[in-house]
Amino acid sequence: MTLSTAAALAAADRARIIHPYLPGSAEERVVMTHGSGCRLTDAEGRSYLDATGGLWLAQIGHGREEVARAAYEQMAKLEYFTSFWEFSNDRAIELATRLTAIAPEGLGHVYFTSGGSEGNEAAVKMARYYHHRRGDTSRTWILARHKAYHGVGYGGGSATGFPVYHEGFAPMMPHVSHLTPPWPYRSELYGGATEPEAVTDFLIRELEERIAEIGPGNIAAMIGEPIMGVGGMLVPPADYWPRVREVLTRHGILLILDEVVTAYGRVGSWFAAQHFGVTPDIIVTAKGITSGYTPLGALLVADHVAEQLLADTGFPMGYTYNGHPVAAAVALANLDIIEREGLLDRAPKIGGYLHDRLVEHLAELPVVGEIRSVGMMLAVELVADRSTRAPLPMLQPMLPDVIRRETGVIVRDCAHSLVLSPPLILTEDEADEAVAAMRSVLERTLPTGELRS
């Protein structure tokens, strides 16, 4: 079979590839072949604006030759050797040194993975193992939140708080307990509380009660995304994380921040921990560490946790690609670009511009409930009725599909919100283009979820 035409590629894809989340009956394929900046081109030559940064990661945009050169040079020099036991490589060491220099104070150690799900598996095991090493062997429970997304492993995946991700995969890992997410727009979750401090009061009370129910001496860690991405870019009140941290510390429970989406500039700081003024025990990162040029993840680990893992037998789990030198070289080139182009400063500026344009052009539409953002994580929550805040039914074809087919702008729906997480190099013109594309479809969207033609 020759794969020289777009139709042949699509046919071969349909015949051969198992896609995540795509039913076999779906005919359409969008086969990307090129990327440059915030633009993508498919096999038919159609152009797209990537307003989601792939899956929330293309910090520096597509097609940067400098990164490709870094990968080439590293492959020609040393493509791979293991990082198990006493073995290491110069690039992984350089990257770990760089990451600990930008991390919150006290997170002085790094454990490498190949992505976010692997990272959360490692973090959950690390938390349990930390307590085990200290003789606190009954600390096995993990606290998480409903609407959380921590990837698809059985550890992190059990902490994921959407039943749909568990269906058909049971039994999930035991000893995981889910709490209410911080989602101030849905004040009904908090007995009608609307003031941010009252929302936090509710959530802290629930946290304290849950800890008392399970028993503080049985809980290893709480895991949470600083801003919940798949849950619909849920931004917590400013005092939420510092107050959660205080409660956990008081009970000897570790805090794992899943920063797979929020790290490396997306919210305007290296880590969202710094944005919220909180120091966790473990930060899980992936995605933006390489802007997606190669798979890579890194856990930043507090020194007091690392101390337990470095003693005697070391940390007894490792992935083959731990500390991969090519991925590390790519990450270093990516961090160079983020620094050189001032993308930490750019994220809140262009994110603020995009937020303001969304408010200007979409806020008046009857199906728009709330527009929220931090830096370059933005959401437009859709409702059938603004007074009751009843969610907009999400019908087929999904709104993002319609927006893409009609305008070439790629956005995504997450839990009744349209979400945007573009490359941090997005221009104002591109931001305007994304907003116009969304408006052109949302202004025809009826409260039933159907589209007026």
Binding positions for ligand PLP, rule: CB under 6 A: 55, 115-117, 120, 149-151, 225, 229-230, 258, 260-261, 286
- Residue at token pair 């790519």: 330
Beta carbons of 393 and 33 less than 8 angstroms apart: no
Give the nearest distance from C-beta 288 to ligand PLP in angstroms. 11
For residue 103 the two structure tokens come to 């991390």
DSSP letters for 70-116: HHHHHHHH------STT---HHHHHHHHHHHHHSPTT--EEEEESSH
55 or 332: CB nearest ligand PLP = 55
Q: How far is the CB of 423 from ligand PLP (least distance, A)?
A: 16
Q: With contact defined as beta carbons under 8 Å apart, do 62 and 68 qualify?
A: no
CB 193 within 8 A of CB 182: no
Residue 425: both structure tokens together:
């190099």
Of 291 and 445, which has the nearer Cβ to ligand PLP?
Answer: 291
> Is the CB of 74 or the CB of 290 nearer to ligand PLP?
290
Indicate the residue among 92 and 283 with the shorter CB distance to ligand PLP.
283
At residue 343, the 3 state secondary structure works out as helix
Do residues 215 and 136 lie in contact, with contact meaning Cβ atoms separated by under 8 Å?
A: no
C-beta of 38 vs 123, nearer to ligand PLP: 123
Query: What is the distance, to the nearest Å, from the Cα of residue 282 to the centroid of all Cα atoms in its chain?
Result: 16
**Minimum distance of ligand PLP from residue 209's CB (angstroms):** 26
Q: How far is the CB of 26 from ligand PLP (least distance, A)?
A: 21
Nearer to ligand PLP, 20 or 24 (CB): 20
Shortest Cβ 176–ligand PLP spacing (Å) = 15
N- to C-terminal Cα separation, the chain: 40
Considering beta carbons, is residue 283 or 286 the nearer one to ligand PLP?
Answer: 286
| Angle CA 426–430–435, to nearest 5 | 115
Residue nearest to ligand PLP (CB): 116
Least distance in Å: CB of 89 to ligand PLP?
22
Q: Which residues pair with 32 in a beta bridge?
A: 42
Q: Taking the complex as a whole, how short is the minimal distance between the CB of residue 183 and ligand PLP, in angstroms?
A: 16
